[in-house]
Amino acid sequence: MKFDIAIIGGGPAGLCFASALAKTELSVLVVESQTHDAIADPAFDGREIALTHRSKSIMEKLGLWQLIAPEAISPLCDAKVLNGVALQGLTIERSHGKKAELGYLVSNHLIRKAAFDVAKTLPNVTLRTGVKVTALNTSAAGGNLTLSDGSSIECSLIVAADSRYSMARRAMGIAAKIHDYGKQMMVCVMEHDEPHHHVAWEWFDYGQTLALLPMNGNRSSIVVTLPENDIRRLAPLEPDFFNAELSQRFGHRLGKMRLVSTRHAYPLVAVYANRFVAQRFALIGDAAVGMHPVTAHGFNLGLRSADALARGITTQADRNADIADATVLATYQRGHKCATLPLFVATHALAKLYTDDSRPARRIRDFCLAVGQRLPPFKRLVAASLTGAR
Ligand SMILES: Cc1cc2nc3c(=O)[nH]c(=O)nc-3n(C[C@H](O)[C@H](O)[C@H](O)COP(=O)(O)OP(=O)(O)OC[C@H]3O[C@@H](n4cnc5c(N)ncnc54)[C@H](O)[C@@H]3O)c2cc1C
Protein backbone atom coordinates (compact mmCIF):
# COMPACT_ATOMS: atom_id res chain seq x y z
CA MET A 1 0.00 0.00 0.00
CA LYS A 2 1.21 3.49 -0.84
CA PHE A 3 0.47 6.79 0.89
CA ASP A 4 2.02 10.25 0.80
CA ILE A 5 2.30 10.40 4.59
CA ALA A 6 2.21 7.58 7.17
CA ILE A 7 1.62 8.64 10.78
CA ILE A 8 2.61 6.26 13.57
CA GLY A 9 0.22 6.75 16.51
CA GLY A 10 -3.41 7.89 16.59
CA GLY A 11 -3.12 9.74 19.90
CA PRO A 12 -4.14 13.41 20.09
CA ALA A 13 -0.99 14.65 18.29
CA GLY A 14 -1.16 12.09 15.46
CA LEU A 15 -4.88 12.65 14.81
CA CYS A 16 -4.57 16.46 14.97
CA PHE A 17 -1.68 16.33 12.51
CA ALA A 18 -3.76 14.19 10.12
CA SER A 19 -6.65 16.68 10.42
CA ALA A 20 -4.30 19.61 9.77
CA LEU A 21 -3.64 18.10 6.32
CA ALA A 22 -7.37 18.07 5.44
CA LYS A 23 -7.07 20.85 2.89
CA THR A 24 -4.31 19.12 0.92
CA GLU A 25 -4.81 16.34 -1.58
CA LEU A 26 -2.19 14.23 0.16
CA SER A 27 -3.15 10.67 1.07
CA VAL A 28 -2.55 10.18 4.79
CA LEU A 29 -2.47 6.95 6.77
CA VAL A 30 -2.69 6.80 10.59
CA VAL A 31 -1.57 3.51 12.18
CA GLU A 32 -2.75 3.06 15.77
CA SER A 33 -2.08 0.02 17.93
CA GLN A 34 -5.23 0.44 20.05
CA THR A 35 -8.52 -0.94 18.79
CA HIS A 36 -10.98 1.14 16.77
CA ASP A 37 -13.42 1.26 19.73
CA ALA A 38 -10.70 2.39 22.14
CA ILE A 39 -9.86 5.47 20.05
CA ALA A 40 -13.39 6.16 18.73
CA ASP A 41 -14.79 6.37 22.25
CA PRO A 42 -11.77 6.73 24.56
CA ALA A 43 -12.25 5.90 28.23
CA PHE A 44 -11.64 8.55 30.92
CA ASP A 45 -7.91 8.46 31.70
CA GLY A 46 -7.78 10.89 34.62
CA ARG A 47 -6.01 13.67 32.68
CA GLU A 48 -7.55 17.13 32.58
CA ILE A 49 -5.60 19.05 29.98
CA ALA A 50 -4.91 22.75 30.56
CA LEU A 51 -5.13 24.34 27.12
CA THR A 52 -3.66 27.68 26.09
CA HIS A 53 -5.51 30.24 23.95
CA ARG A 54 -3.18 29.32 21.09
CA SER A 55 -4.24 25.65 21.41
CA LYS A 56 -7.89 26.69 21.43
CA SER A 57 -7.35 28.60 18.15
CA ILE A 58 -5.62 25.62 16.51
CA MET A 59 -8.38 23.29 17.72
CA GLU A 60 -11.01 25.68 16.32
CA LYS A 61 -9.20 25.76 12.99
CA LEU A 62 -9.18 21.95 12.91
CA GLY A 63 -12.87 21.77 13.87
CA LEU A 64 -12.21 19.96 17.18
CA TRP A 65 -13.16 22.68 19.63
CA GLN A 66 -16.68 22.91 18.23
CA LEU A 67 -17.21 19.19 19.04
CA ILE A 68 -16.53 19.62 22.76
CA ALA A 69 -19.65 20.45 24.80
CA PRO A 70 -19.33 23.95 26.36
CA GLU A 71 -20.15 22.55 29.81
CA ALA A 72 -17.15 20.21 29.51
CA ILE A 73 -14.78 23.19 29.17
CA SER A 74 -13.81 24.89 32.43
CA PRO A 75 -12.14 28.30 32.47
CA LEU A 76 -8.79 28.54 34.21
CA CYS A 77 -8.77 32.02 35.68
CA ASP A 78 -5.73 32.34 37.94
CA ALA A 79 -2.81 30.09 38.91
CA LYS A 80 -1.20 29.82 42.34
CA VAL A 81 2.19 28.33 43.21
CA LEU A 82 2.58 27.33 46.86
CA ASN A 83 5.66 26.22 48.73
CA GLY A 84 5.81 24.02 51.84
CA VAL A 85 3.48 25.04 54.65
CA ALA A 86 3.22 28.73 53.62
CA LEU A 87 -0.32 29.87 52.81
CA GLN A 88 0.84 32.62 50.46
CA GLY A 89 2.88 31.97 47.36
CA LEU A 90 3.04 33.29 43.85
CA THR A 91 -0.23 34.13 42.11
CA ILE A 92 -0.54 34.68 38.37
CA GLU A 93 -3.79 36.46 37.64
CA ARG A 94 -5.71 36.53 34.37
CA SER A 95 -5.05 40.28 34.18
CA HIS A 96 -1.32 39.50 33.79
CA GLY A 97 -2.18 37.62 30.59
CA LYS A 98 -4.56 40.38 29.38
CA LYS A 99 -7.31 37.77 28.78
CA ALA A 100 -10.59 36.91 30.49
CA GLU A 101 -8.96 33.62 31.53
CA LEU A 102 -5.45 32.15 31.46
CA GLY A 103 -6.65 29.05 29.63
CA TYR A 104 -9.18 26.20 29.61
CA LEU A 105 -9.44 22.72 31.05
CA VAL A 106 -10.77 19.83 28.98
CA SER A 107 -10.62 16.08 29.74
CA ASN A 108 -8.03 14.27 27.65
CA HIS A 109 -10.52 11.60 26.57
CA LEU A 110 -12.83 14.32 25.15
CA ILE A 111 -9.95 15.88 23.19
CA ARG A 112 -9.04 12.44 21.85
CA LYS A 113 -12.66 11.73 20.90
CA ALA A 114 -13.03 15.08 19.11
CA ALA A 115 -9.74 14.48 17.26
CA PHE A 116 -10.96 11.06 16.14
CA ASP A 117 -14.38 12.41 15.09
CA VAL A 118 -12.74 15.03 12.87
CA ALA A 119 -10.14 12.68 11.35
CA LYS A 120 -12.63 9.91 10.53
CA THR A 121 -14.66 12.20 8.27
CA LEU A 122 -11.71 13.31 6.12
CA PRO A 123 -11.64 11.70 2.68
CA ASN A 124 -7.83 11.84 2.41
CA VAL A 125 -7.23 10.18 5.80
CA THR A 126 -7.21 6.39 6.31
CA LEU A 127 -7.19 4.99 9.85
CA ARG A 128 -5.77 1.55 10.54
CA THR A 129 -6.40 0.48 14.12
CA GLY A 130 -5.47 -2.58 16.16
CA VAL A 131 -2.09 -2.92 14.38
CA LYS A 132 1.33 -1.87 15.56
CA VAL A 133 4.22 -0.52 13.55
CA THR A 134 7.01 -3.00 14.27
CA ALA A 135 9.75 -1.68 11.96
CA LEU A 136 10.48 1.32 9.76
CA ASN A 137 13.20 2.71 7.55
CA THR A 138 13.67 5.56 5.14
CA SER A 139 15.89 6.27 2.15
CA ALA A 140 16.23 9.14 -0.33
CA ALA A 141 13.40 7.54 -2.34
CA GLY A 142 10.82 7.10 0.46
CA GLY A 143 9.81 5.47 3.73
CA ASN A 144 8.65 1.98 4.60
CA LEU A 145 6.66 0.67 7.57
CA THR A 146 6.18 -2.94 8.62
CA LEU A 147 3.00 -3.63 10.59
CA SER A 148 2.29 -6.32 13.18
CA ASP A 149 -0.14 -8.08 10.79
CA GLY A 150 2.76 -8.60 8.36
CA SER A 151 1.67 -5.94 5.85
CA SER A 152 3.96 -3.16 4.70
CA ILE A 153 3.36 0.47 3.76
CA GLU A 154 5.30 2.69 1.40
CA CYS A 155 5.18 6.46 1.73
CA SER A 156 7.04 9.69 1.00
CA LEU A 157 7.21 10.82 4.63
CA ILE A 158 6.91 9.03 8.00
CA VAL A 159 5.69 11.09 10.96
CA ALA A 160 6.04 9.51 14.41
CA ALA A 161 3.52 10.50 17.10
CA ASP A 162 3.96 7.31 19.08
CA SER A 163 4.34 8.73 22.62
CA ARG A 164 7.33 9.77 24.71
CA TYR A 165 8.53 6.16 24.70
CA SER A 166 8.60 6.29 20.86
CA MET A 167 9.86 3.09 19.20
CA ALA A 168 10.10 4.96 15.89
CA ARG A 169 12.54 7.49 17.38
CA ARG A 170 14.81 4.65 18.51
CA ALA A 171 14.45 2.74 15.24
CA MET A 172 15.63 5.85 13.38
CA GLY A 173 18.67 6.13 15.68
CA ILE A 174 17.57 9.41 17.28
CA ALA A 175 18.84 9.78 20.84
CA ALA A 176 16.83 11.62 23.50
CA LYS A 177 17.44 13.19 26.90
CA ILE A 178 15.27 11.25 29.32
CA HIS A 179 14.68 12.52 32.87
CA ASP A 180 13.15 9.87 35.09
CA TYR A 181 12.11 11.72 38.26
CA GLY A 182 11.61 8.44 40.13
CA LYS A 183 8.05 9.39 41.08
CA GLN A 184 4.50 8.63 39.97
CA MET A 185 1.52 10.91 39.49
CA MET A 186 -1.92 9.76 40.56
CA VAL A 187 -4.77 11.67 38.91
CA CYS A 188 -8.48 11.64 39.72
CA VAL A 189 -11.48 13.97 40.06
CA MET A 190 -12.64 15.00 43.54
CA GLU A 191 -15.51 17.10 44.85
CA HIS A 192 -14.77 19.42 47.75
CA ASP A 193 -16.73 21.59 50.18
CA GLU A 194 -14.86 24.85 49.57
CA PRO A 195 -15.00 26.61 46.16
CA HIS A 196 -11.86 26.77 44.01
CA HIS A 197 -12.81 30.07 42.30
CA HIS A 198 -11.31 28.60 39.09
CA VAL A 199 -7.80 29.00 40.47
CA ALA A 200 -5.27 26.25 39.61
CA TRP A 201 -2.82 25.25 42.32
CA GLU A 202 0.66 23.85 42.06
CA TRP A 203 1.68 23.09 45.61
CA PHE A 204 5.28 22.05 46.18
CA ASP A 205 4.73 20.72 49.66
CA TYR A 206 7.51 19.01 51.58
CA GLY A 207 7.57 15.31 50.67
CA GLN A 208 4.74 15.59 48.13
CA THR A 209 3.66 17.69 45.18
CA LEU A 210 -0.05 18.42 44.80
CA ALA A 211 -1.84 20.02 41.91
CA LEU A 212 -5.43 21.11 41.62
CA LEU A 213 -7.04 21.91 38.28
CA PRO A 214 -10.43 23.60 38.76
CA MET A 215 -13.36 22.01 36.90
CA ASN A 216 -16.89 23.37 36.62
CA GLY A 217 -18.75 23.14 39.97
CA ASN A 218 -17.01 22.30 43.23
CA ARG A 219 -14.90 19.65 41.50
CA SER A 220 -11.24 19.52 40.65
CA SER A 221 -8.79 17.30 38.91
CA ILE A 222 -6.28 16.33 41.57
CA VAL A 223 -2.70 15.31 40.80
CA VAL A 224 -0.65 13.78 43.63
CA THR A 225 3.06 13.15 42.95
CA LEU A 226 4.79 10.71 45.27
CA PRO A 227 7.29 7.83 45.16
CA GLU A 228 5.87 4.76 43.40
CA ASN A 229 5.41 2.77 46.63
CA ASP A 230 3.19 5.49 48.10
CA ILE A 231 1.08 5.70 44.94
CA ARG A 232 0.72 1.91 44.96
CA ARG A 233 -0.74 2.14 48.47
CA LEU A 234 -2.88 5.23 47.79
CA ALA A 235 -4.39 4.39 44.39
CA PRO A 236 -6.44 1.33 45.48
CA LEU A 237 -7.29 2.68 48.96
CA GLU A 238 -10.93 2.24 49.96
CA PRO A 239 -12.78 5.55 49.12
CA ASP A 240 -13.51 6.65 52.72
CA PHE A 241 -9.88 6.27 53.72
CA PHE A 242 -8.74 7.81 50.43
CA ASN A 243 -11.01 10.86 50.95
CA ALA A 244 -9.76 11.33 54.51
CA GLU A 245 -6.12 11.06 53.45
CA LEU A 246 -6.50 13.47 50.50
CA SER A 247 -8.40 16.04 52.62
CA GLN A 248 -5.53 15.87 55.09
CA ARG A 249 -2.81 16.03 52.42
CA PHE A 250 -4.49 19.24 51.16
CA GLY A 251 -4.38 20.57 54.74
CA HIS A 252 -8.23 20.77 54.72
CA ARG A 253 -7.85 23.95 52.62
CA LEU A 254 -10.74 22.69 50.43
CA GLY A 255 -12.77 21.27 53.32
CA LYS A 256 -13.84 17.65 52.91
CA MET A 257 -12.84 16.03 49.61
CA ARG A 258 -14.70 13.14 47.92
CA LEU A 259 -13.47 10.94 45.10
CA VAL A 260 -15.86 10.99 42.09
CA SER A 261 -13.85 9.23 39.39
CA THR A 262 -11.53 6.34 38.75
CA ARG A 263 -7.86 6.82 39.74
CA HIS A 264 -4.98 6.64 37.23
CA ALA A 265 -1.22 6.57 37.76
CA TYR A 266 1.50 7.73 35.37
CA PRO A 267 5.30 7.57 35.73
CA LEU A 268 6.97 10.98 35.93
CA VAL A 269 9.32 10.93 32.95
CA ALA A 270 10.27 13.84 30.68
CA VAL A 271 11.85 13.35 27.25
CA TYR A 272 13.52 15.66 24.74
CA ALA A 273 14.64 14.19 21.41
CA ASN A 274 18.10 15.31 20.22
CA ARG A 275 16.69 15.78 16.71
CA PHE A 276 13.11 16.07 15.50
CA VAL A 277 13.80 15.06 11.90
CA ALA A 278 15.78 12.62 9.77
CA GLN A 279 15.65 11.66 6.10
CA ARG A 280 11.92 11.56 5.16
CA PHE A 281 11.07 11.33 8.86
CA ALA A 282 9.73 13.70 11.55
CA LEU A 283 8.78 13.47 15.22
CA ILE A 284 5.78 15.33 16.64
CA GLY A 285 3.89 15.38 19.97
CA ASP A 286 5.39 13.63 22.98
CA ALA A 287 7.66 11.61 20.68
CA ALA A 288 9.57 14.87 20.06
CA VAL A 289 9.06 16.62 23.42
CA GLY A 290 7.51 14.82 26.40
CA MET A 291 7.16 17.62 28.95
CA HIS A 292 7.11 17.31 32.75
CA PRO A 293 3.39 17.99 33.45
CA VAL A 294 4.09 20.65 36.09
CA THR A 295 3.80 23.46 33.53
CA ALA A 296 0.85 21.72 31.80
CA HIS A 297 2.34 22.18 28.34
CA GLY A 298 2.76 18.67 26.86
CA PHE A 299 -0.25 18.58 24.57
CA ASN A 300 -0.09 22.33 23.90
CA LEU A 301 3.40 21.88 22.47
CA GLY A 302 2.38 18.65 20.71
CA LEU A 303 -0.46 20.48 18.98
CA ARG A 304 1.93 23.27 18.04
CA SER A 305 4.34 20.73 16.49
CA ALA A 306 1.50 19.17 14.46
CA ASP A 307 0.36 22.59 13.26
CA ALA A 308 3.88 23.79 12.34
CA LEU A 309 4.84 20.65 10.43
CA ALA A 310 1.50 20.55 8.59
CA ARG A 311 1.95 24.17 7.48
CA GLY A 312 5.39 23.44 5.98
CA ILE A 313 4.09 20.34 4.19
CA THR A 314 0.99 22.13 2.88
CA THR A 315 3.14 24.87 1.33
CA GLN A 316 5.24 22.22 -0.41
CA ALA A 317 2.15 20.32 -1.61
CA ASP A 318 0.64 23.56 -2.99
CA ARG A 319 3.82 24.08 -5.01
CA ASN A 320 3.87 20.45 -6.18
CA ALA A 321 7.25 20.13 -4.46
CA ASP A 322 8.67 17.27 -2.37
CA ILE A 323 6.71 17.18 0.93
CA ALA A 324 9.69 15.58 2.71
CA ASP A 325 12.22 18.10 1.47
CA ALA A 326 15.16 18.32 3.91
CA THR A 327 14.94 22.13 4.13
CA VAL A 328 11.25 22.02 5.08
CA LEU A 329 11.95 19.43 7.78
CA ALA A 330 14.93 21.46 9.05
CA THR A 331 12.75 24.59 9.27
CA TYR A 332 10.18 22.65 11.30
CA GLN A 333 12.92 21.36 13.63
CA ARG A 334 14.41 24.83 14.17
CA GLY A 335 11.04 26.43 14.92
CA HIS A 336 9.92 23.69 17.31
CA LYS A 337 13.26 23.71 19.16
CA CYS A 338 12.95 27.47 19.69
CA ALA A 339 9.38 27.02 20.94
CA THR A 340 10.17 24.18 23.35
CA LEU A 341 13.79 24.03 24.51
CA PRO A 342 13.80 27.07 26.87
CA LEU A 343 10.55 25.86 28.47
CA PHE A 344 11.80 22.27 28.77
CA VAL A 345 15.06 23.37 30.45
CA ALA A 346 13.27 25.83 32.76
CA THR A 347 10.65 23.23 33.74
CA HIS A 348 13.34 20.68 34.57
CA ALA A 349 15.22 23.21 36.74
CA LEU A 350 11.98 24.22 38.48
CA ALA A 351 10.98 20.60 39.11
CA LYS A 352 14.43 19.80 40.55
CA LEU A 353 14.50 22.81 42.87
CA TYR A 354 10.91 22.55 44.09
CA THR A 355 11.18 18.86 44.96
CA ASP A 356 14.45 19.31 46.85
CA ASP A 357 13.47 19.38 50.52
CA SER A 358 16.94 20.21 51.91
CA ARG A 359 17.08 23.27 54.19
CA PRO A 360 19.02 25.53 51.72
CA ALA A 361 16.68 24.52 48.87
CA ARG A 362 13.61 25.34 50.99
CA ARG A 363 15.04 28.84 51.57
CA ILE A 364 15.76 29.36 47.87
CA ARG A 365 12.25 28.05 47.02
CA ASP A 366 10.67 30.63 49.37
CA PHE A 367 12.96 33.40 48.15
CA CYS A 368 12.20 32.77 44.43
CA LEU A 369 8.43 32.79 44.99
CA ALA A 370 8.61 35.94 47.14
CA VAL A 371 10.67 37.74 44.48
CA GLY A 372 8.41 36.49 41.67
CA GLN A 373 5.33 37.71 43.56
CA ARG A 374 6.79 41.24 43.65
CA LEU A 375 7.85 41.34 39.99
CA PRO A 376 4.95 42.16 37.63
CA PRO A 377 7.12 41.69 34.47
CA PHE A 378 7.94 38.14 35.62
CA LYS A 379 4.24 37.46 36.21
CA ARG A 380 3.39 38.78 32.77
CA LEU A 381 6.02 36.47 31.27
CA VAL A 382 4.58 33.43 33.08
CA ALA A 383 1.04 34.46 32.08
CA ALA A 384 2.15 34.79 28.44
CA SER A 385 3.55 31.26 28.61
CA LEU A 386 0.32 29.93 30.19
CA THR A 387 -1.93 31.62 27.64
CA GLY A 388 0.31 30.50 24.79
CA ALA A 389 1.14 34.04 23.71
CA ARG A 390 4.85 33.22 24.06
C1 LIG B 1 -1.05 13.35 34.47
C2 LIG B 1 -0.84 14.12 33.20
C3 LIG B 1 -1.34 15.41 33.10
C4 LIG B 1 -1.14 16.14 31.92
N5 LIG B 1 -1.62 17.41 31.86
C6 LIG B 1 -1.42 18.15 30.74
C7 LIG B 1 -1.91 19.49 30.66
O8 LIG B 1 -2.53 20.03 31.59
N9 LIG B 1 -1.68 20.20 29.51
C10 LIG B 1 -1.01 19.66 28.45
O11 LIG B 1 -0.84 20.36 27.43
N12 LIG B 1 -0.54 18.39 28.50
C13 LIG B 1 -0.72 17.62 29.62
N14 LIG B 1 -0.26 16.34 29.67
C15 LIG B 1 0.48 15.81 28.50
C16 LIG B 1 -0.44 15.22 27.42
O17 LIG B 1 -1.31 14.29 27.98
C18 LIG B 1 0.44 14.58 26.35
O19 LIG B 1 1.36 15.56 25.90
C20 LIG B 1 -0.35 14.08 25.14
O21 LIG B 1 -1.28 13.11 25.50
C22 LIG B 1 0.60 13.46 24.14
O23 LIG B 1 -0.10 13.11 22.97
P24 LIG B 1 0.64 12.23 21.84
O25 LIG B 1 -0.40 12.00 20.80
O26 LIG B 1 1.93 12.84 21.47
O27 LIG B 1 1.03 10.87 22.59
P28 LIG B 1 0.12 9.76 23.24
O29 LIG B 1 -1.11 10.34 23.85
O30 LIG B 1 1.03 9.00 24.14
O31 LIG B 1 -0.35 8.85 22.01
C32 LIG B 1 0.55 8.00 21.33
C33 LIG B 1 -0.28 7.00 20.53
O34 LIG B 1 0.59 6.20 19.74
C35 LIG B 1 0.16 4.85 19.79
N36 LIG B 1 1.33 4.01 19.49
C37 LIG B 1 2.46 3.89 20.23
N38 LIG B 1 3.34 3.06 19.64
C39 LIG B 1 2.74 2.64 18.48
C40 LIG B 1 3.15 1.76 17.44
N41 LIG B 1 4.35 1.16 17.44
N42 LIG B 1 2.30 1.52 16.41
C43 LIG B 1 1.08 2.15 16.38
N44 LIG B 1 0.65 2.98 17.34
C45 LIG B 1 1.48 3.24 18.39
C46 LIG B 1 -0.38 4.69 21.21
O47 LIG B 1 -1.29 3.61 21.29
C48 LIG B 1 -1.06 6.04 21.43
O49 LIG B 1 -2.42 6.05 21.04
C50 LIG B 1 -0.43 15.57 30.83
C51 LIG B 1 0.07 14.27 30.93
C52 LIG B 1 -0.12 13.56 32.10
C53 LIG B 1 0.43 12.15 32.21
pTM value is 0.95
Tell me, using a 6 A CB cutoff, whether residue 127 lines ligand 1: no
- Nearest Cα residue to 92 out of 84, 81, 82: 81
> What per-residue confidence (pLDDT) applies to 94?
84
Residues of the chain short of pLDDT 50, as ranges, are: none
Tell me, using a 6 A CB cutoff, whether residue 386 lines ligand 1: no
Quote the ligand 1 centre to 12 CA distance (angstroms).
7
Tell me, using a 6 A CB cutoff, whether residue 10 lines ligand 1: yes
> What are the C-alpha distances in Å from 364 to residues 208, 227, 361, 380, 381?
18, 23, 5, 22, 21
What pLDDT digit, counting tens, does each position of 150-163 carry?
A: 999 999 999 999 99
Q: Which of 188, 286, 301 to mutate to test the pocket of ligand 1 (most atoms within 8 A of CB)?
A: 286
The CATH-assigned architecture of domain 2-72+105-178+270-353 is 3-Layer(bba) Sandwich (3.50)
> What are the C-alpha distances in Å from 39 to residues 12, 116, 120, 286?
10, 7, 11, 18
Beta bridge partners of 100: none
Distance CA 277, CA 200 (A): 35
Quote the ligand 1 centre to 290 CA distance (angstroms).
8
- 19-22 contacts, C-beta under 8 A, 24 or more apart: 19/62, 19/63, 19/64, 19/115, 19/118, 19/119, 19/122, 19/125, 20/62, 20/306, 20/307, 20/310, 20/311, 21/124, 21/125, 21/310, 21/313, 21/314, 22/62, 22/122, 22/124, 22/125
Alpha-helical (H) ranges within 274-325 are 298-318
Tell me, using a 6 A CB cutoff, whether residue 13 lines ligand 1: yes
Domain 180-267+356-387 has CATH 3.30.9.10: yes
Q: Which residue is closest in CA terms to ligand 1's atom 31? A: 11
Domain residue limits, the chain:
2-72+105-178+270-353, 180-267+356-387
Q: Which of 105, 299, 386 to mutate to test the pocket of ligand 1 (most atoms within 8 A of CB)?
A: 299
At 357, give phi and psi (nearest 5°): -95, 10
> What per-residue confidence (pLDDT) applies to 98?
73
> What per-residue confidence (pLDDT) applies to 296?
82
Q: Which residue is closest in CA terms to ligand 1's atom 50? A: 293
Quote the ligand 1 centre to 79 CA distance (angstroms).
24
Quote the ligand 1 centre to 267 CA distance (angstroms).
13
> What per-residue confidence (pLDDT) applies to 390?
63
Tell me, using a 6 A CB cutoff, whether residue 285 lines ligand 1: yes
Q: Which of 145, 163, 222, 289 to mutate to test the pocket of ligand 1 (most atoms within 8 A of CB)?
A: 163
